[in-house]
């Protein structure tokens, strides 16, 4: 459980860095999400999920 909370905190911190360093680019990126179809967002989410699982699998052994 501690690993999960640590990973969540790290993800939030990394996202915060992006908003702090590139606020205009992040705003444009979020506005462009409204133009993407649900199917494309779903496929992107599934790809990110799979990549995350693979990274954790390799790191944790």
CB count within 10 Å of CB 32 equals: 9
pLDDT at 19: 96
Whether 3 has a pLDDT exceeding 90, the answer reads no
Over the stretch 43-61, which tens digit does the pLDDT of each residue have?
999 999 999 999 989 988 8
List pLDDT tens digits, range 13-43: 999 999 999 999 999 999 999 999 999 999 9
15 SS3 class: helix
Distance CA 3, CA 26 (A): 28
């Amino acid at each position: 459980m501690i690993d999960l909370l640590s990973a969540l905190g790290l993800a939030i911190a990394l996202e915060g860095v992006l908003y702090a360093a590139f606020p205009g680019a992040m705003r444009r990126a979020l506005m462009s999400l409204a133009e993407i179809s649900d199917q494309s967002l779903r496929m992107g989410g599934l790809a990110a999920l799979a990549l995350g699982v693979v990274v954790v699998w390799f790191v944790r052994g």
